[in-house]
Structure 1
Amino acid sequence: MRELNGKVAVITGAASGMGRAFARRFAREGMRMVVADVAADALEQLTRELKSAGHDAIGVLTDVSRAEAVEHLARVTLDTYGGVHLLCNNAGVSGGRGHARFHVYADPPAIWEATLNDWQWITGVNYWGVAHGIRVFVPIMLQQNEDGHIVNTASISGLVPGGNVYGATKHAVVSMSESLRMDLQRRGAWGRLGVTCLCPTLINTDIYTGWRHRPEALRDEEPAPSEAELERLRGVYATGLPPEHVADLLLEAVLQNEFYVIPNHSVDTRIRERMEEILNRRDLHVSQSTSAE
C-alpha cells in the first residue's frame, strides 16, 4: 500500500496506547480516520484532538468482542467515507486474574488459575475482536478492488511460550494473521491487500489498567490492584518502548507490505530457541517472563 493520503483507516483500541499513536501517525499521512474504542471519554478526546489538528476523523464507540458492534463500525465507516483501506485490529486487554501483576511478582498465575470470566473476557477482546474485524472488513476491502492493508496486533507472547490466557490469545492472532496472508495469496489478492502481524514487547502504555473496562457481567470477586501495585506497574511499563516508535515502524510496514513487525531484537534468542525446540522435539525451556505487551 503505497499511497495513504485521502485513504480511510479504521483503528480499534484507538483511544490510548499504541492505538492512539497509530491514529496520530496515520492521520499525519493524510488518512481519513475512523477511531474505535470502548472507552467513551478517551475516544471523544482523541476524536476532538484529531479534528482540531485539521484531520478528517470520526469516533465510533465499539466493543470488538461483539460481532454486531464491529458490523456497526463497518456500516458507519462505509456510510461516512464510502470505503476502508487500512484496518488495524488493535484492541486488546492484558489479562485477567493476576495478569496485571505479571511484571511485579516472580511467579505469574498459572493458566488453570484463570476463571471462566477471565477466559471469556480475554478471548472476547483479543481473539474475537480480531476475528470479527477480519470477517467483517476483509470482504469489503476485497470487493473495493483497491490497495489496502490489514494490521493485527499480536504480541511477543504470541511467538514464545508463557503468558497464560493472554499468551494463548496472542498465539491465535499470529495464526489468524498467517492464515489471512496465505488465503489472500491463494485468492490472488496478495499484493493488492497486505497483512502485518505486529508483535510488540514491552511498550510504554497503560494496558495494565484495562481491567477498568471489563464488563460487569465478566467481573470476578477480586480486589482491584492497589495504588502501590499500580505505581510499580507504571514504573515497569515506563521502561518500555514509546508507542510512537512502534507507530513509525508500523507505517513503514504498511508502506512496504512487511508481515512480521517485532519492535526490538531483545527476544530474538527466545524465538529461535522455541523454533529449535519444536524442530528437535525437545521440552520447552521455562522462562519467567516474555516482557510482553
Structure 2
Amino acid sequence: MGRFDGKTAIVTGAAQGIGEAYARALAREGANVVVADLNAGLGEQVAERITADGGTALCVKADVAEPDSVTAMAESTVDRFGGIDLLVNNAAIYGGMKLNLLLAVDWDYYRKFMAVNFDGALLCTRAVVPHMRKRGGGSIVNQSSTAAWTYSSFYGVAKAGLNSLTQQLATELGGSGIRINAIAPGPTDTEATRTVTPAAIVAQMVERLPIKRMGTPDDLVGMCLFLLSGEAGWITGQIFNVDGGQVMR
C-alpha cells in the first residue's frame, strides 16, 4: 500500500529534473500522476517510464502562464482519473534563464518570466481548487528556492512572491480542507543549474554550506511527499528549506 493510493496528483514542469523526481516518487507511492509540461515530448517519456515501472501516468502539455491551458490541464486530469487531490507547482523558467539586473532586464522578458515563475502557481491553483473541493480537500506544494532570501535578481523576487502567495492562499483554502506549503531548495545539482550557474560560483556556494555538497532531486522528494500526505495534516502556509543549511531562519 502506498501513501497516495487512489489519489491523483498533477506535477507541473515534470518532464525533467526535480519535477520528474517528484512525479516518479508520487507514482511509486500509488498516485495517478499527471506529468504536466510545455515540453510534451519529454513529458511523454517520463509518463512512459512511470508506466513501465508499474505506475499510472498521463502526460498533458501545459503552459502554466496561460489560463486556458491550465484549465484544460485540470479538465484532462478529471476526465482521465475522476478528480484531483494533489498539486505540485514546480514549473519555472530556470534552465537557460537570462541573467541580468532588475534595473536592466528586458521588460518583456521580465513579464514573461514572472508570468511563469510566479503567476503560474496561482493560475494552476485556481484551476484545481474547484476539483479538490469536490473531493473534500487536497494538498498543494509550491516550489520556492533559497533565492528568496539571497540576492538573485528577478528570480529571487519571483520566489519571494511565491512564498507570500503560499501564506496568503493557506488562509483562503484552509476552510475547504486544502493545505498549501512550499519547499525552498538550496543549490541543487540538476541539468538546469549546470546551464545557469558557472561552476566556480557553485563551488563557492558549496564551500559555504554546513553540509558541503550540492543537493540532489532525491534530497527534496521526502519533504514533498510528506507535505502532500496526511502526515502533514496540520501544516499549512509554511516554507521549508531543504538546503544543506544554506539559510538558517
TM-score range, shorter chain: 0.7 to 0.9
Change (3 A) 1:233 1:78: farther
* Aligned partner of 1:203 among 160, 184, 188: 188
Structure 1 residue aligned with 2:164:
175
The equivalences for 1:1-293 within 5 A come to 3-94=3-94, 98-99=98-99, 109-145=100-136, 147-158=137-148, 160-185=149-174, 188-189=175-176, 192-208=177-193, 232=199, 239-255=213-229, 256-257=231-232, 258=235, 259-264=238-243, 266-269=245-248, 272=249
Equivalent residues of 2:215, 2:244 under 8 A apart? no
Give the drift of 1:140.
1.9
Does 1 or 2 have the higher relative contact order (CA < 8 Å, sep 6+)?
1
Change (3 A) 1:231 1:3: closer
Question: How many residue pairs get matched?
Answer: 236
Q: Give the 3-state SS of the residue equivalent to 1:112 in structure 2.
A: coil
Shift of 1:121: 2.3
Identity of aligned residues (%): 28
Q: 1:96 to 1:48 in 2, by over 3 A?
A: closer
In 2, are the aligned partners of 1:6 and 1:30 still within 8 Å (CA)?
yes
After superposition, the Cα gap between the structure-2 partners of 1:52 and 1:233, relative to the gap in structure 1 and judged at 3 Å, is farther
Once the two structures are TM-superposed, the CA of residue 175 in structure 1 deviates from its matched residue by 0.8
Question: Residues 56, 96 of structure 1: CA spacing in aligned structure 2 closer, same or farther, 3 A cutoff?
Answer: closer
The one-letter amino acid paired with 1:207 is A
> By percentage of residues, which structure has more strand?
2
CA distance in 1, matches of 2:30, 2:54: 10
The Cα RMSD (Å) is 2.6
Q: Which amino acid aligns with 1:50?
A: I
Q: 1:167 to 1:137 in 2, by over 3 A?
A: same
Find the counterpart in structure 2 of residue 283 from structure 1: none
**Quick check: which has more Rg, 1 or 2?**
1
> 1:115-145: per-residue Cα shift (whole Å, max 9, x none)?
1132122112101210111111112212322
Once structures 1 and 2 are overlaid, which stretch shifts more, 230-239 or 113-122? Answer: 230-239
Task: List per-residue Cα deviations over 1:20-64 (Å, max 9, x = no partner).
Answer: 000111101010011111122211110110111111111001111
**Secondary structure at 2:103 match in 1:** helix
Q: How far did residue 165 of structure 1 move?
A: 1.0
Gaps of 5+ in 2: 207-212
- CA deviation string 1:150-184 (max 9, x = no partner): 111111122x1421111111111111100111122
Unaligned runs of 5+ in 1: 100-108, 210-224, 273-293
Q: Give the TM-score, by structure 1 length.
A: 0.73
CA pair 247-234 structure 1, distance change in 2 beyond 3 A: farther
Matched residue of 2:35: which SS? strand
